Chains A and B, each alone.
Chain A
Amino acid sequence: MSTREITYLEAIREALQQAMHADERVFLIGEDIGVYGGAFGVTRGLLDEFGSERVIDTPISEAGIAGACIGAALTGMRPVGEIQFMDFVTLSMEQLVLQAAKLRYMFGGKATVPFVLRTPGGAGTGAAAQHSESLENWFVHVPGLKVVMPSTPYDAKGLLLAAIKDDNPVIFVEHKLLYRTKGPVPTEMYEVPLSRSEVKREGRHLTVVATSLMVQRALEAAETLAQEGVELEVIDPRTLKPLDARPIINSVIKTGKLLVVHEAVKTGGFGGEVVAVIAGSDAFDYLDAPILRLAGADVPIPYNRTLEYHAVPQVENIVETARRLAGGEV
């Protein structure tokens, strides 16, 4: 398998392209994904390659996009829908939560609804409160949905290919600030299994569980702290639901300390779930400090650059909190 450096965005595009070549049931549907190439350019070139029947531009109809994915999935296709900004999933919620997630169960386990809904979340682009949300935990709360959040180009491609093959509705949350980040990605098709947490960096002093962009920030923080002799173990759940908790539990048993970092607002966020899982696990007896969360402030994302910067965790926030926690100051 040959590997080269490509961006997270290119990795996603390559996964779509290869999945469409491999399986004629796979098609793309969303707003401005054709000629425009998607608001962030993820699907650029795919219209030329696959034609307008498999790269379908829709009217501005987010409920319709979700419904189209559900109906096509129910009848033998494997759609990949795109919601242009994660904020706009609010306009598809009924279809995703009350239909996609529940059809299989309500029908006694008979139906399968295999589709992926890709959507970019996250702040940092100056897009303000209605184009910067991180709403993943809404979906984590819904039985029947899977929620995936890749943090690297390698994971983005492998997880997307696994999600397309999965027989359940998968909410695939990309991050706008990760689109231009680069990393090694094999040219061939491969899958990163869903529900498999990964230790991104080993360390013995403190476990940091982070998602999406925060994985990269946690790794940067770990680099800084390593120079001070503080070793962070950084774990990326990659699939938030269903969560693979064992690697996190094992890590906390080893380090005795846990910090959870995510960009979504803290109250009701995914961090609370991780904390509860650890508090109720066999890692509890090994804890020798309070568990901490670093997360987005409970605020709509502000427009102003400085305010926006302070609304979500930055590398220095992780460094500072991890240093205090690892140093026994908490």
Chain B
Amino acid sequence: MATLKVWNMDKTHILQTHGRDWLYKMMLIRHFEETAEQLYASGKVHGTMHLSAGQEASAVGTIAPLRPSDYILSTHRGHGHCLAKGGTPARMMAEFLGKNTGYCRGRGGSMHIADLETGNLGANGIVGGGVPIAVGVGLSIKMRRTDQVVVVFFGDGAANEGAFHESLNMASIWNLPVIYVCENNRYAMSMPVTRSMKVERISQRAAAYGIPGVTVDGQDVLAVFEAASQAVHRARAGEGPTLIENLTYRYKGHSKSDQQAYRTREEVKEWQTKRDPITKLRDRMIQAGSLTAEEAATMDQQAAEEIVRAVEFAEDSPEPDPANLLMGVYA
């Protein structure tokens, strides 16, 4: 069975180099998600949303080894992926409020944010919808003879879609530069993974495709970064795809309709207090002496302010003109 080459990384050095950037990005995502929820509660949002608070390390740590020219395919819970890949909070927030200045000119909303300029080929409203598309992106990279890679994010629910099998099989037989990143947040809407699959780890399924599969503590951004780096290295070297399973947790409900009857408050509380990815990284950096508590507080404040400015931009932006309803249906 194929295994992922693991090399020891100098964790102290990595944290010194990237720690602040990652911490800030995770704080930015958290503030984005919390602000999105508040905007929804205050009646300013027309549609629904799927918040990724709690899953920030998976987004930031996975995308950190990517180059600007690399691609990602995201999910319905995709705000963090977009921000981590270099998306602008203001244009995301504008899209969230359905404004003409949004990434999709108000046509897509939260579930369809795409930023082609940063290589984000789009969030996706269909569970597993982006997974077969990754095959085509991988093929295209191979045929264009670039050394780009594509990361396709999906959830534990998507791993039970038939398209998952088709995609992993095709990418593996053709050694495509695709990194499959399963964000296993334990529930497909309400269905726990323990009831929806017989295997213990989704990464075990990699064996069926003869590719490496690894399960990672998705709340530890450094662990996520390490696995992603090695998978990216493998993909760039033409050795083929990898299946990574980031064990993570979403703090909020699946979407706004969720009464969360399938899990306890205690469980949510435990993840928030003991395994929060932002707290984890901050404490680690403070312990290592590469950050002070005051500096962390300042960064958090800056992230909050960036999101406030994003909301201002979004609220001041014009609505799309109904005269342009059909714009963009056809090229």
A194 nearest CB across to chain B (Å): 10
For A94, what are the chain B residues with a Cβ–Cβ distance below 8 Å?
126, 129, 163
Q: Which of A59-67, A256-264, A268-276 contacts B (4 or more CB under 8 A)?
A: A59-67
Q: Which of B49-57, B167-175, B179-187, B289-297 contacts A (4 or more CB under 8 A)?
A: B167-175
Which residues of chain A in 1-51 are interfacial with respect to chain B, using CB atoms and an 8 Å cutoff? 27, 29
A143 contact from B131, B143, B329, Cβ within 8 A: B329
Is A68 touching B136 in the complex (CB atoms < 8 A)?
Answer: yes
A72 nearest CB across to chain B (Å): 4
B235 nearest CB across to chain A (Å): 15
For B210, what are the chain A residues with a Cβ–Cβ distance below 8 Å?
none
What residue of chain A has the Cβ atom nearest to residue B114's Cβ? A107
For A242, what are the chain B residues with a Cβ–Cβ distance below 8 Å?
330
A177 nearest CB across to chain B (Å): 31
A72 contact from B122, B140, B167, B328, Cβ within 8 A: B140
A128 in the interface (beta carbon within 8 A): no
Q: Mark A48-90, 1 if CB is under 8 A from B, else 0.
A: 0000011010110101101111111111110100000000000
Interface size class of B (residues with CB under 8 A): 35 or more
B135 contact from A68, A103, A110, A167, Cβ within 8 A: A68
A27 nearest CB across to chain B (Å): 7
B109 nearest CB across to chain A (Å): 9
A110 nearest CB across to chain B (Å): 6
Which residues of chain B in 93-137 are interfacial with respect to chain A, using CB atoms and an 8 Å cutoff? 102-108, 112, 114, 116, 121-122, 124-126, 129, 131-137
A74 contact from B112, B131, B136, Cβ within 8 A: B136
How far is it, in angstroms, between the C-alpha of A53 and the C-alpha of B131 when the chains are bound? 22
A75 with B140: in contact, given A99-B129, A108-B103, A109-B105 (CB under 8 Å)? yes
The interface centre, meaning the residue of B133, B137, B139 with most chain A CB atoms within 10 A of its CB, is B133
How far is it, in angstroms, between the C-alpha of A106 and the C-alpha of B47 when the chains are bound? 14
How far is it, in angstroms, between the C-alpha of A104 and the C-alpha of B108 when the chains are bound? 10
How far is it, in angstroms, between the C-alpha of A36 and the C-alpha of B132 when the chains are bound? 25
Is B139 touching A68 in the complex (CB atoms < 8 A)?
Answer: yes
Is A64 touching B103 in the complex (CB atoms < 8 A)?
Answer: no
